[in-house]
Structure 1
Amino acid sequence: MEKTYQFLNKVIEWLLVTIFALLVIDVVWQVISRYAVGKPSSFTEEFARFALIWLTVLGAAYINGQKEGHLSMDFLLSKLPENKRHSRQKVIQIVMALFALIIMVIGGGNLVYTTLSLGQISSALNVPLGFVYSIVPICGLVIMFFSFYNIKKLNFE
């Protein structure tokens, strides 16, 4: 499980850096084409929107795996004795996994299926919107894996 965790972290890190670099290039090209050339590019706004969707959802999954970097209010949790703190942290991870399963995997999977079956296509890039939204169930599975990994880590602490 540790090797899978390390591999998944590296893949997500690489994807985040690549998407962010493409987003920067896209926005710079939009500014250049609008002000220097005088004819704004038609696809850059839509690409930036889709890149931000992927960057946000992938970033949330990545941060879930990096337990220390996740935004949380742990003031009350830190006041608990060690054994109760571990059990509460396990409950939190289980709730996160359930949220990822119900909302992201099942709900996101339904969204992807619906948009693909309806044939919705983005206006400027001509990409099926189901492919754009597919990041939601994929990251739901990643969040579930990270939650189970964090629970396993808590068992050995």
Structure 2
Amino acid sequence: MKLREKIDKVLGIVLAVLMAVMVVNVLWQVFTRYVVGEPSSFTDELARYLLIWIGILGAAYVSGKRMHIAIDLVPSRLTPRAQARLSVFVNLIVILFAVTVLVLGGARLVYITLLLEQNSPALQIPLGGVYTIIPISGLLVVYYKISDLLNVK
């Protein structure tokens, strides 16, 4: 569990830093638009990419903290043994989704955008770099769910 706690801590710090950068970026955008009178050209795109990173990494973080949205009407009416089985089933479904959509699909998206040498319009950074958060987040979700499976009672 020590590794999981370290990953949680690092991920929490990364999310806080990304959020702080996004706030400063948006404040700069508002300042340049209304005070200077000439909006900054990169802030809109940077805010969009930061929001994507925060959302996708945040989903992995919440999954690891077991704070994601869940309907607990059915599990609360089951026996403890049936609850454990349901938990295993749900974790396996989440792993299947994370592997196929986030890890494999995300890696394919990163590969294709890097192969096509696509760059973002304003920042001129490779979009493959922006999209790398998808398979990274998928791997984190898979790690968390495997950890949960190993700790099912």
| Pairing 1:147–2:145 present | yes
1:118-137 superposed matches below 5 A: 118-137=116-135
How far residue 4 of structure 1 moved from its aligned partner, in angstroms, is 1.3
Misfit runs of 4+, over 2 Å: none
The SS at the match of 1:12 is: helix
CA displacement at 1:45 relative to structure 2: 0.1
Q: Could you list the per-position Cα deviations for residues 88-128 of structure 1 after superposition, in whole angstroms to 9, with x for gaps in the alignment?
A: 00110011011000000000000000000000000111110
Unaligned runs of 5+ in 1: none
Indicate the residue corresponding to 2:35 in structure 1: 36
Is 2:74 the counterpart of 1:76? yes
Alignment partners' CA distance in 2, 1:88 and 1:56: 27
Q: Are positions 1:61 and 2:53 aligned together?
A: no
Partners of 1:78 and 1:64 in 2: CA distance: 20
Tell me the TM-score normalised to structure 1 length. Answer: 0.96
1:10-44 residue CA offsets vs partner (Å, 9 max, x unmatched): 11101100000000000000000000000100000
Q: Are 1:16 and 2:23 an aligned pair? A: no
| Percent identity of paired positions between Structure 1 and Structure 2 | 40
Secondary structure at the residue paired with 2:113? helix
Q: Distance in 2 between matches of 1:152 and 1:78?
A: 21
**Counterpart mapping for 1:37-52 below 5 A:** 37-52=36-51
| Structure 2: distance between partners of 1:13 and 1:144 | 18
Q: Once superposed, what is the RMSD of the aligned Cα atoms?
A: 0.6
